[in-house]
Each structure stands twice: as structure tokens, then as C-alpha cells.
Structure 1
Amino acid sequence: MIESPNLSENKEKTLRELLEQYTRYWYLFALGVTIAIVAAFIYLRYSTPLYLSKATVIVKDEKSGGGPAELAAFSDYGGFFSKFNNSNIENELAIFKSKRIVTEVIRELNFNITYESIGTIKTSDIYDYRPFTVQFLSFKDNDENRAVPKLFFELISETEYEITNENDAIKGTYSFGNPVELPFGVITVVPELENLEKFNSYKGKTISVSYRPLEAVAISYQNRINVANEIRNSNVVTLTMQSPVREKAEDFINELIFQYNKDAINDRNQVAQKTSNFIDSRLEIITEELDSVERNKEQFKSKNRLTNIEAEAQLILENSSEFNKRQLDIGTQLELANSMINYMENASEDDLLPANIGIESEEIANTVSSYNQLVLERNRLLKNSTMKNPVVVNLNNQIEQMRSGVRSSLQNISNSLKISMRDLNYQESVLNSKISKVPTQEKLYRGIERQQSIKEQLYLFLLQQREEASISLAVTAPKAKIVDNAYSGKTPVSPNKMLIYLGALIAGLLVPFLLIYLSYLLNSKVSNRLDVERVLGSTPILGEIPKLKRGDEELIQHNDRSILAEAFRILRTNLQYLTINKGDSIRKSNVIFVTSTIKGEGKTFVAFNLALTLALTGKKVVLVGGDIRNPQLHRYLPDQSKSQQGLTEFIIDESLSATSLATPSNYNKNLSIILSGVIPPNPAELLLQDRTKEFFDELNENFDFVIVDTAPSMLVTDTILINKFADKLLYVVRAGYTDRRLLEFPKDAIEDGRLSDVAIVLNNVNMNNFGYGNKYGYTYSEEQQPWYKRIFRS
């Protein structure tokens, strides 16, 4: 589809208008950007920069080779060194950020006591060097978590200082090192005099000291520290923190790693200590049983006077050596199983189970290890929660089920071993029948020796396990291996200068844009000629009258070179081109009606100045007050009375002539004025009289131009009734006053034929929207305005 040239031109004008409605307010954008950049500069100048501190650690996992090399020799035994193999990295991240660990860090570093230097505009933290240290010795009611008012210190000398608070409730001078009793408790202040130069630099400055409860500070740091597993499927943990004081953040992160390792070592030692205690108790029992067996052996030999019974049955015993070995192993396993069952029956649910004490069942060893891990996890959670915590309840259920499973498995193993031992005893009776010739004492002696051997093996095994437990307690290898200690970047991460300035630039442009956009969006008034052309495109616009400033003359003066005078001269010229000919006959005079949609749009102002402009050409002009309902011409004629005879009297009194009513004007000798006269009770009917036509015909014969100030067209019907007497109808639209929706009325009236020969005059046009002289720099006046008015004129 090919667009018509007119359509393309309209689109071009619409786009130009869209751009001009913003570019004409360029000074608002410049001002907005300037204010925003200055505000950003002030913000950056006095804001506290934040630096990023970072540390990297590896959470050790023995399964992946992260365990200590010195413990590799004990890996075959499992036991104490296998319980950490299933470490969950997510759980470890939670431990790093736990309030319990963070609170210990705050307590160790005394971060709940803050020292700040009070400046003129902003306050800065003192950390690297403090001229003194405040020690809070005691609190009233022994409550360390109570709120303490901020204290302000001022150094007087190396021996004295002054204390105040915000409301001066605390004020006094004290000596360093002496206890000071304050309303909340007792403090002492210790000076740092190792560097006198730095100490003296704080003289005359105010230093504030704040004491906050540990819990509140811990929660604050807990929210600020970030612990993450950045490398997927690895045990690498990164700890980051933003802080205005780099050294303070580094110390916090390093201490957090230390406290985490300390907590992990304590957890590991709990299991080792429980196992060690269990082994010691079993050693006492086995020692007593071994002594009893050895005494029985000694008494048996003495009583039966035996020396070397084994030699007599050497041949048979050689054949039964394998049987004895099996019987010995089963007896050992049965004893271990029964011992473990007795321990579980006497131990509470909070106790850890001894891990890998020698029972050959791998399933039981793995189950016991998992059980201990769950108990440790539950005990760790209970430090920060209660038994009603859903996670704790879930862990208790798992622990109970696993404990029941371990007990059931041990019982099954014990029953199985008893059956095996019963079978072996039966086989032993068969073997004994084969050695019936061996003395009865040999049978008893063999039983005693078998018990002695079992007890000896169990005793040696427990000694070995106790040694392993002692080594585990002695080894304090940290769980978190430090890859990089805490370090800080030299460049602050916040505030981001480039981002702040970019945001300020965007805001400086966006705010004026939004204000202008909203002003146009909410403005329903006519602003410029394009608003009129959109609705009344086929109706010509003869001229644009500029908006007057306060104090400007409303009427054109003699030899006037103002922009108002030039605007009416342009209107006069355009009007003359339209009113020279009308139809086929040449008119001697031109009758020009001036009307508007509603009152207040400046039709009287336009009519009067148009009449003056035409009179300046030497033509005889008469200005008629055609609005007989609400006459306004008298506003410009202070010397003439509103009751002076005029149009109304002419229509009523047939003896009057139109020329007799014309009064010469004081403004110009070529201008005469006829007022509207008294206000009649029936103005519409009065204007329908034949005398109205006679009035205009008589004026046509005697004047070159007849300018008629008529009534508003939409409010009353008067103008429409007499419109037929006009050669041209000037329809006044006032910018900034006339609602754009009201333009539909003249459009409909023109299309319906109620108004004819209509031309638009746009009144009260802002200088930004006015004409072409202002845009292209043509000077209407010799007056030179100040530079700021030329830049910001509106």
C-alpha cells in the first residue's frame, strides 16, 4: 500500500512533535543530570566503602584421601577413623554459619565492643590501633546481655581521660587503669602507650565505645558472612565477607575457621573418649577372669601332680588342631557379641557405641559407625534447638530404629555362635571318645587352657584398641585444611562508583523525562497548533498570538515592535489574503466575526488588537461588541460606560443609525467602537430581527473593516444566528486553557454548516511553541535579555 504524501508528512510532523516536546526542555535534563551527578559525588564522598575479604578451605574427607597421612597405618582397623568418611558438605556449611560457632568467634575477638572515631560528617571504625582498651569488669544484676549506653571518651593526657554519654547523664574525668563505677556496671580503661605518636594523635578527638550483647552481634555477623561450596562435587569451601575494615573481616574469618576446627576436634574426641572408657572397663573384667583361669590351672596341676600331659596325647592333638582353632575363634566372637549386648543394655540412648571392637560382621561395624554419626548430629543440633525440633525428632526415630537393628543383629550373631559352639562341643565329645585312654585330668586341663587362651587373645586385642583410642585422642589434626588464609582486595566492592554515576545519569535523565511525560499525559489542554490541526486539519490557522508576560501591555501601541504586534501583523496579512474576494463579487468591506468555544479564550483581546492592527494601515475600522449577553469591550475602554447605547439599542430603536453609535477611539483615529448596549432579556430573539442585517449593511457602507466581538459559540446560540452576516469567522482557541475535547464542537459545527468561512486563531501560545522567529533566532525587539533569561525562558 502506497501512502499519500500528506499522510507521510503528517507522520513526520508527529514524530518531530514527539521529539520537540522533550528537547525544548533540554535545560531540565541538564539541570537533572547536574543535580544527580552532584548528589552521587556527595554520596560517594561521604559513604563508607566496603571491601571483600575471602578465605578458602578444604573440608577433609578420609575417603577421598583428605585424612592425615600419619593415621594411614590404622586405616585397616576402621574404628575411630572411619566415622567421618560420610561428611556432608552441606551440613558443614551450616556448621560454619551456626550462631554457636559465630558467637564463640565474637567472644574471642571481643567484637561486641566497637570503637569509633567521631568525625564532623561521618564516623569511622577504629581497629588497627586503639589508643585505649575498655574492659567491662561487671554488670549490674550480672546481666551481660543488657543494653549499655554508648560512651564517649576524650583523651586529656597519658594518664587521664574524660567520659560522657549522649544525654550527659554520665560525665567525669578519670585516670587510666582505675575501676570506674557507672550506672550499668564497672569498667576500667587501659591505655596503649607503646606508640605515643599515634596515642597523641587522638587527643582532642571524640572516641565512642559501644557495648552490644553477644547474641545480637553474632546474628549480625551470621547474616554478613557468606559460606559457599563454589566448586561442584568438591570439598572446597569459600568464606567471604564485606566490611569497611579489611583487617577486622580477615580476623573474623580466620577465627571462624579456627573455631570450626576446634568444634570438629571436640566432636571426634567424644567418640574416641567413649570407646576408650568402654575398653578400660572391659580390660578390668578380662584381667580378673584371666587371673582366675590361671589360678585354676595352677591349682589343677598341683592337685593332680601333672607335668606334661600334652606329650601323651600329642598325636591326637595334632589331628585336632584345626578344630581347636575354630572353637577358639567362635568362643572369642561369642564373648565380644555378649559384651556388646551387655553394654547396649546398660548404656543410655545418648551414649555412643564402641566402634569396631573386633566383631567380624562388617554389617554391624558399618551400622555402629552410622549410629554414632547420627547421635553426634543430633547432639550438635540440640545445642541450638530443643527436642521438639522436627529434625531432632526425625534423628531420634532413626537412632532408635538403628539401635534396635544393632541389638537384633548382635542377638542373631550370638545365637548363631551358640549353635556353632554347640556343634563344636558335640564334635569335641566325639573326639574325646577317640582319646578315651587319655586321663580325665587331660580333658579338664584342656578346658582350662582353652579358657586361658580365649582370655589372653581378648586381653591383647583390647590393649591394641585402647592404644588406637589413645592415639586418636592425641592427634588434633584440623578438619578444615586452609588453602588461603583470609585476604582482602585493595579496591572497594561497594559502593560501585561507575554504577552509582551511571545510575545518577540515568535518574537525572529519567526524572525530567517522566515529569514532562506525565505533564503531557495529564494535560488535556491545547498546547500548540499541531493539537488544533489534528482535530481541525482542514480549517486554516491564520495566526498564533504569543503568551503575554506579567506587566506586558495587552493592546498594541503606536510603532510597537513587540512580538505581540508582529503576531497580529502576520494575522492581518493572512486575513487580507483570505478576505479580498468572497465568491464572484468584490466586497467593499469585510465583516469579520471573532468567537470562541467558551468564555475566557481571549476573543475580545484578539478582536480589539486585530481592529487596532487594521486601523494602523489607514483603513477605517469599526469594532462592534456583538456579545450582548456578557459584553467585555468596556474592559479596554475605561472612559466609556457599560450602559452606553450600542447594538441592542439599534435593534430596538429604529430611529437610531449605526454610524451614530460609532464612537471614535482614543487608541487610533481610524478606529471606531460600537458597544453592545444594555443586556436584553431575550438576546437570541433580538438578534433574529431584520434590524440586525440593516446594522451590518450600514457599517459595510461606511467602514472598510467591521470587526465583531461575538458570544461564545458553544455556550449560546447568538453567534450561530448571525454567522451569515460575516465574511470571515475567526475562531479563537486559547493554548493552555481550551480543552482538546472542546475542539470537537467547532469541527462538528463546520461540518454541519452552522459555522462557515472559519479560520482559527491560536491565542496564548507559549514562546517554546510560538512561530518561527523565536526558533530561528529572528529578533523582534532590540531589548537584550539577561543570559539566564535567554537560557531558561519559557
Structure 2
Amino acid sequence: MAKEKYKYLPIEAEESEFNVRELLDRYLRYWPWFIIVGGLALGLAMLYLKYTEPMYKTVSTIIIKDEDKGTGSDPSALVDLGMMGGMATNSISNELGLLTSKRIMYNTVKALDLNVQYWSDEELLSKELYDFSPVKVEIFRLDDRGLEKAILSESNVYKVHNLGGGKLSVVNETTEEEVQTDLGQMVELDFVDFNVQEKEGQEAVPPEEAWTSIRIKFVSLGSVVDKYRGKMVVEIIEEQSTLIQLSLEDPVPKKAQDILNQVVFEYNRDAIDEKNLIAKNTADFIDERLAIINQELDSVETGKEEFKAANSLTDIGAESNMIIQNVSEYNKRQQEVQTQLELTNSMLNYMNSDKLVLFPSNLGIEETSVNQLIAEYNSMVVQRNRLMAGSTEKNPIIVRLDAQIAQMKNSVRSSLQGRRDNLLISSGNLRRQSGRLGSQISAVPGQERKFRGIERQQSIKESLYLYLLQKREENTLKLTVRAPKAKLVDQAYSNWSPISPNPKKALAIAMFLGLMLPVLVIEGKELLNNKIRNRSDLEKKVKGIPVLGELPKLTKKDKEFNANSNRSLLSESCRIVLANLQYTMVKHDPKKGGVCVFVTSTVKGEGKTFTTMNLAHTLATTGKKVIVVGADLRNPQLQRYKEGLNKVLGVSDYLVSRTQELKHLIQDSEQHPNLKFLPSGSIPPNPAELLQLDKMGAMLKELEEAYDYVFVDTAPSMLLADTFLISKYADVTLYVVRTGFTKKNVLNFAMDASKEGKLKNMNFVLNDVGLANLGYGSKYGYVYGEDQPGFWQRLKHSF
């Protein structure tokens, strides 16, 4: 049982191996095309690698400080002022947007003078020199509109030639206008005024050599800004962190390094300017309040002095010390309430302005919710100012922020007004309580009461004045602290191995395309092909019906009929067809006479007559007596092989005549003595009726008795019924199919005709087969004993 179970496995393996081999053979027959396309692809890849400018990747890493938590260098007083809250309401995404903003990049490009480019003076591969330029251009005037016009007319590039002795020649590449100048002397052009200076210590040219020429290109700042904004990539390295990586790809690594370093510098400078703006607004507010309180304090002190002088007072209230001690606590609380009330009123007066300004924060207001609202309002104003630097007031984000700021301002005002109302109530309560105690000291002289009131006002003003002086000093200290917001982790550095072009990748793609393009062409041709191309196509369509052989495609130098060459490819192919034909005739009775072979096809032009003549001639050369009968009475073709056959009597004349003898109609051929012709004769008006006559069968019977082989060249089967009318007389029918001409679907007609018995003992012959498809592939499709075709001939016939 075990043997039975596995006895078919070797057969399956063999079939699988055959299929793989067949698939490989399918492509290997086109190997010249794979070599040519692969060679071209590799050649293009080499040209690409040679002439493509290499790109290098430059990277820099920074950390955005989280200033909510403070830093070691920030004084605690600055944190109390609430001026270090830059990150409090802004996500790290906003910082990424600021790093890539147009304003930051504009400042970077302007600082590095990137709108002036230096290129080597080479025709084919001009390279940007940047810092390796032997000269430096200093611009005195640049007209943006004039530059745009020059760029459009491509007249913004100048060649600077070193004439020696400090002399220069400046030539416009487009207009070829030339200006003679000296090193350091100003050159005045339509859109720019500049001078050219040699760089000291430049690295481009060895000291013993002098530079000869260089190309200088003027471009607009905007175009450079847009270019590098699009190329620079800013991304967070790790989630939940402020570690940011900036990367830039450019053919000049030093240039990319300078750009990234300058971007970080501009970002830090922008952040410091924002911090100083908040501190400056706070300083202005404090100075304004100090001026007012100083004036009020002077007034109180002057009143106190005048009061004591008018009443001749030196030491007041010794006897009221006991009562004063009782009310001291109320006075202290009254002082605190009055201080808070004064600060609250000051803030409300400051808020009456319609201008969008930053509010002072943490000035001593003891209401936590009010301080939080002020901090949130300031953060919104800072965020709006940052966005306005690179946008307009019509920006939807600015509009939304304006609405939020207005709403927050109303919230702050409402909170301060509520705070003031509460303080007024507290002040009233304290006054009433003080009034109750005041009744106890009614006996104290009025001077004492007035004097204490004056001292109380003096104490309030002094306390507020000292507090504001302290805050002014702290704010001044903050203005001197310029800590960068972005801490540099890794200064910009470049990978000195270019990221593109990648030789391995380019060559791999070239090899892939070299293999895949021919495959795609082959498969595409196969997919779109609806015609028979080779023997395999034919055998798949006509399963069960033998394919006797193939006849090769003739080249221009080949003759349609090989009368003298016995070793030609056509002769060998005919012998193969005839050899296979013998196997179909094993049951033929020699006593019956010769073999009657009908040759037909689907439509005109598939090579019936060509096949008939070459098979007949091949048999004649073996000593067989062969005759070719022209049975296509409508469109005879035998005259191609002997001049004048269309003018002599033939089959049609024999069928309509009662006296005509067949032997008088037979013509000798010019190709071989054993080969005879029976032409079709005059073209009749009723060929179908003539072919149905019994005389047709008698004629073929007579010929079979006189010849070993009778080849009947019939009409196309699909177009006419003539062949079907006489097919009963055939011993074998050869159905000719032409590669690249016969459509696959029309073979269904031949198959149906065979199944229905309309065409007797039908076999196929494949005609006009290319060298690459002849036999079982190009490896075995050539004639033994003859030189194989050359490379270009095989390449020509591979498709």
C-alpha cells in the first residue's frame, strides 16, 4: 500500500520541473534583449552616478527648555513676576512651527547672505563653492524688482575673471555685457551695486595658485527662504520630551551646517526678545505707578509736617498708648486692605486702555484666581505677538486668539471689580470696628486723631512705594539675564558619505529594470497578442489534432521556393512535415493509388500555395511523382511558380468539357522533372457547381493512379464552401496556420470543421515561423550542418 501511495510522486515532480524549465526557456529565447536592455540600464545608472550632484545630510539636536519649572539660573523673583511662562500655554508643536517659520528662515538667509551664490566656472558640472569661494561679494544696493526681472530673463548670473594685478572682468552670462573693475571697487549694475573682494585665508585655492574665474549668481531672498524651509525637517526625537532634531539635505555640507546653527541662534534671539518685551512692559508700569505714589507720599509727608508745626506737636499720645495698642490690630488690617484696594484700583485703571498690552503680574494682589487669569492673559498676548510676526490679523488663528484675549480681559476686569467690592466691604467693616474703639478715646485731643490718620496714610504709601521699588530692581535684573530658550545638544554636523545618489541602490534599480523591462514587454506582448505566434500557441488551441511541423520565415535574401538547396532551413522543415505526414498515412492502401493531400487555410494570405509547392517539391526530389492541382478556381496562385499558367486550360476547363483529355492539361514544372502542375484554368462564373460534379472525383482518382502524391491547392475554408464540397476526396487535409497572421479565435472554426467531419483527416502545418520560435526554441531551431545566424539576425527575429 505504501508503494501505491507514492508511485505518482516522481511524475508530479517531473511535471513541476518541466513547467519551471518551460518558463525559463520562454525568457531565455530573448536573451539578446536582456543583455542589451540590461547594458543600457547599467550605462544610464553609471551616467546618473557620474553626473548627479551628491547630497549630504546635516543634523543638529536641541532641547526646548520647559520654563514652567524654572531653571537654575532664573532668580525666584522673576518667577514671582510671572514673566517666565513662555511654555505654559504653548505646546511643543508651536515651537516646531516657530523653528520652521518663514521669519526665522528669512533672518537666517539674510544673516548668511545666501542670496548670493558662488559657483565654479565649469560648463558641464558646475558646483556651488560657498565658503570655498576665493572671493566675497559685498552688496551696497539691491533692487528686488530689478532682480526679479533679471531672474526671469536669466541675466542674474555673472562670470568674474581674474585678470591679474587686482584687475577683474565681470561678464553677464546671458547678455555678455562686460565691466572692467578692480578688487574692492564698486560695480554698478541695473539691479545691484556690489564689490568683489578676495577672501583672506580661503581654502578653495592653494597658496601657490591663483584663481582664474568664478560664477556669481544673485537670487531673491524669498526664493532661498522657500527652498530651505521646504528642505529643512524639524521633528521630535522622543515622545513626551522636548528633544528636537533639525535636519537638512544639501550638496554643500558646510552651508547646511551654517543654516541649522543660524536657525537655532535666530530662534533663541527671538525667544529672548519676547521675554524682554514682557519685562519692559512691566518696568514701564512700575515706573508709572512709582511716579504717582511718590507724588502722593510727598503730599502726605508735607501735610504731616504742616500739621505738627501748626499745632506745636512733638510727642503725641503718651496717654493714649493703651487704647492704641487695642486698636493696632485693626489699623494693621486696615492698612493691608487699603494696600490691596490701591493695587486693585491701579490695575483697573491700567486696563481701561484699548491697546493690546501685557498686564503686570504678581504685583502683590493676594487673590490667586486673579493672578492666574492675568498670567493666562499675558500668555495669550505673547502667543499672538509671535504669530503676528509671520502672519496678518486676518489669519483665522489670530482672529480666534483676539476673541479669546478679549474674553480673558473681561474675565480679569470682572475678577478685579469683584475683588475691589470685597475690599470695600472689608474696609467698611474695619472702619466701623475702629469707630467703636474711637468712642473710647473721645477724650483724646483731635490733634492726636488727625495725626494718626496722617501717619496711617504715610505708612500705606511708604509700604506700596517700597514694594514697587523692590519689583523694579527684580525686573531690571531679568532684563540683564538672556538665557537661551533652546539648549544646543549637538551642533550641526554632516554625514560625509552622501545619502544620494546611492551607487548600490542605483545599480540595483538598473539591474532590476534591465531584467523587468524585457519581461514586461514580453508579457505585455503576450497579453495583447490574439494571434498564433509559435507552435506552443497552436498546440494549446488545437488539442487532439496533430501539428505536423513548421515552415520558417523567409528573409529578404531567401527565395520563396528553394529549388536547388537540399540543406536549406526551408527544405529541412518540409522534410520534417512530410516525415510526420507518413505516420498519418500508415493505413493508406497502396493499391488504391497515390495519396491525395488537400492543403487549405482559414483565410487568404496564410501560405497555402507556398506550403503546397514546397512540400510537393521536397517529395519530388526524393524520386516521387508529384502533381499539384490548382483547386482554388476563384483566385489561382500557381502562376507564381511558372509563368503563363494563368493563361492555359486547367481544372475548370476539364470539368465543363466533355471531350477534353486530362493528360493534355498537365504542365511540366520548372523546378523538378518529377513535379507536374494541373492549373486551375479559366475562372468560371459558377465554381461551386463545377466542384460538386462527379467528374471532379473521377479526375482526382485518375491523378492518384498516375502519381504517387496529388497535392490539391484549395480555397480558404472560412471564406468559401469550395473546399468542403470536395474534401471527401482527400486522404489527408493539411490546414495551414501562419504565425503573426492567423487569429487564435478563428481556429475554433477549424476545430469545429474537423469534429463535424467537414475536413477529412485534418492536420496542421505552422507557416512563417521566426527563427527564435522554430522547433522548440532558438537553441534547437537551426539546421544541422549550417552556420547559425549571427547575433543581430537572431536579435531581429527574437520578436
Whether TM-score is above 0.5 comes out as yes
State how far apart, in whole Å, the 2-side matches of 1:274 and 1:463 are.
Answer: 16
1:551 corresponds to 2:554? no
Q: Could you tell me which of 205, 210, 225 is aligned with 2:217? A: 210
* Larger displacement relative to structure 2 (482-491 or 548-557): 548-557
1:526 corresponds to 2:529? no
Instruction: Report the equivalent of 2:429.
Output: 423
1:687 corresponds to 2:694? no
Instruction: Report the equivalent of 2:620.
Output: 615
1:91 corresponds to 2:94? yes
Contact 2:772-2:781 within 8 A present in 1 as well = no
Instruction: Report the equivalent of 1:390.
Output: 396
* Larger displacement relative to structure 2 (172-181 or 708-717): 172-181
Equivalent position SS for 1:309: coil
1:579 corresponds to 2:582? no
| Closer/same/farther in 2, CA of residues 235 and 464 from structure 1, 3 Å limit | same
Equivalent position SS for 1:760: strand
Shift of 1:778: 6.8
Contact 1:145-1:214 within 8 A present in 2 as well = no
Instruction: Report the equivalent of 2:740.
Output: 736
Q: Could you tell me which of 318, 329, 351 is aligned with 2:325? A: 318
Shift of 1:561: 0.8
- Superposition map of 1:604-683 within 5 A: 604-638=609-643, 640-683=644-687
Q: Could you tell me which of 121, 125, 134 is aligned with 2:124? A: 121
Instruction: Report the equivalent of 1:153.
Output: 160
Contact 2:160-2:170 within 8 A present in 1 as well = yes
| Closer/same/farther in 2, CA of residues 559 and 100 from structure 1, 3 Å limit | closer
State how far apart, in whole Å, the 2-side matches of 1:119 and 1:108 are.
Answer: 28
* Larger displacement relative to structure 2 (251-260 or 513-522): 513-522
- Listed one character per residue, the Cα deviations across residues 455-495 of structure 1 (whole Å, up to 9, x for unaligned) are 11001100001001101111111111111111111211222
User: What TM-score does the superposition give when structure 1 sets the normalisation length?
Assistant: 0.94
Contact 1:83-1:369 within 8 A present in 2 as well = no
| Closer/same/farther in 2, CA of residues 578 and 240 from structure 1, 3 Å limit | same
State how far apart, in whole Å, the 1-side matches of 2:497 and 2:16 are.
Answer: 52
Q: Could you tell me which of 488, 505, 526 is aligned with 1:482? A: 488
- Superposition map of 1:159-238 within 5 A: 159-192=166-199, 194=201, 197-198=205-206, 201=209, 203-205=211-213, 207-238=214-245
* Larger displacement relative to structure 2 (547-556 or 281-290): 547-556
Contact 2:120-2:128 within 8 A present in 1 as well = yes
1:274 corresponds to 2:281? yes
Matched AA of 2:526? Y
| Closer/same/farther in 2, CA of residues 366 and 647 from structure 1, 3 Å limit | same
Shift of 1:199: 7.3
| Closer/same/farther in 2, CA of residues 590 and 13 from structure 1, 3 Å limit | farther
Contact 1:193-1:199 within 8 A present in 2 as well = no
| Closer/same/farther in 2, CA of residues 184 and 62 from structure 1, 3 Å limit | closer
- Listed one character per residue, the Cα deviations across residues 312-358 of structure 1 (whole Å, up to 9, x for unaligned) are 2222222222222111111111111111111112x333111111111
| Closer/same/farther in 2, CA of residues 6 and 718 from structure 1, 3 Å limit | farther
Shift of 1:777: 7.7
State how far apart, in whole Å, the 1-side matches of 2:16 and 2:145 are.
Answer: 82
Instruction: Report the equivalent of 2:787.
Output: 783
Matched AA of 1:627? D
Shift of 1:249: 0.6
Matched AA of 2:125? K
Q: Could you tell me which of 743, 754, 758 is aligned with 1:754? A: 758
User: What TM-score does the superposition give when structure 2 sets the normalisation length?
Assistant: 0.94
Superposition RMSD in Å: 2.6
State how far apart, in whole Å, the 2-side matches of 1:654 and 1:775 are.
Answer: 57
Contact 2:627-2:711 within 8 A present in 1 as well = yes
Shift of 1:187: 2.3
Q: Could you tell me which of 489, 498, 502 is aligned with 1:496? A: 502
- Listed one character per residue, the Cα deviations across residues 125-177 of structure 1 (whole Å, up to 9, x for unaligned) are 01122222222322469867664522122222141122222333522332222
1:590 corresponds to 2:605? no
| Closer/same/farther in 2, CA of residues 119 and 688 from structure 1, 3 Å limit | same
Shift of 1:104: 0.8
| Closer/same/farther in 2, CA of residues 537 and 142 from structure 1, 3 Å limit | closer
Instruction: Report the equivalent of 2:140.
Output: 137
Instruction: Report the equivalent of 1:47.
Output: 52
| Closer/same/farther in 2, CA of residues 784 and 70 from structure 1, 3 Å limit | closer
Equivalent position SS for 1:713: coil
Instruction: Report the equivalent of 2:34.
Output: 29
- Superposition map of 1:232-251 within 5 A: 232-251=239-258
Shift of 1:590: 1.0
Q: Could you tell me which of 322, 340, 343 is aligned with 1:333? A: 340
Equivalent position SS for 1:478: coil
Q: Could you tell me which of 469, 478, 481 is aligned with 1:472? A: 478
* Larger displacement relative to structure 2 (556-565 or 15-24): 15-24
Instruction: Report the equivalent of 1:373.
Output: 379
Contact 1:80-1:469 within 8 A present in 2 as well = no
Shift of 1:451: 0.7
- Superposition map of 1:427-446 within 5 A: 427-446=433-452
Contact 1:147-1:212 within 8 A present in 2 as well = no
State how far apart, in whole Å, the 2-side matches of 1:379 and 1:303 are.
Answer: 57
Matched AA of 2:652? T
| Closer/same/farther in 2, CA of residues 142 and 559 from structure 1, 3 Å limit | closer
Shift of 1:580: 4.3
Contact 2:592-2:705 within 8 A present in 1 as well = no
- Listed one character per residue, the Cα deviations across residues 183-236 of structure 1 (whole Å, up to 9, x for unaligned) are 33422222235459547756444x221212212211211111111122111111
Shift of 1:270: 1.0
- Superposition map of 1:3-22 within 5 A: 18-22=23-27
* Larger displacement relative to structure 2 (660-669 or 239-248): 660-669
Instruction: Report the equivalent of 1:698.
Output: 702
Shift of 1:694: 2.0
State how far apart, in whole Å, the 2-side matches of 1:10 and 1:655 are.
Answer: 64
State how far apart, in whole Å, the 2-side matches of 1:428 and 1:746 are.
Answer: 128
Equivalent position SS for 2:360: coil
Contact 1:156-1:203 within 8 A present in 2 as well = no
State how far apart, in whole Å, the 1-side matches of 2:543 and 2:79 are.
Answer: 99
- Listed one character per residue, the Cα deviations across residues 584-611 of structure 1 (whole Å, up to 9, x for unaligned) are 7842211111111111111111111111
Instruction: Report the equivalent of 2:307.
Output: 300
Instruction: Report the equivalent of 1:515.
Output: 521
Contact 2:773-2:781 within 8 A present in 1 as well = no
* Larger displacement relative to structure 2 (588-597 or 130-139): 130-139
State how far apart, in whole Å, the 1-side matches of 2:66 and 2:300 are.
Answer: 45
State how far apart, in whole Å, the 1-side matches of 2:778 and 2:685 are.
Answer: 47
Q: Could you tell me which of 712, 718, 735 is aligned with 1:714? A: 718
Matched AA of 2:77? F
Matched AA of 2:726? I
Equivalent position SS for 2:598: strand
Instruction: Report the equivalent of 2:547.
Output: 541
| Closer/same/farther in 2, CA of residues 670 and 236 from structure 1, 3 Å limit | same
| Closer/same/farther in 2, CA of residues 544 and 93 from structure 1, 3 Å limit | same
Matched AA of 1:131? P
Shift of 1:261: 0.9
Equivalent position SS for 1:732: strand
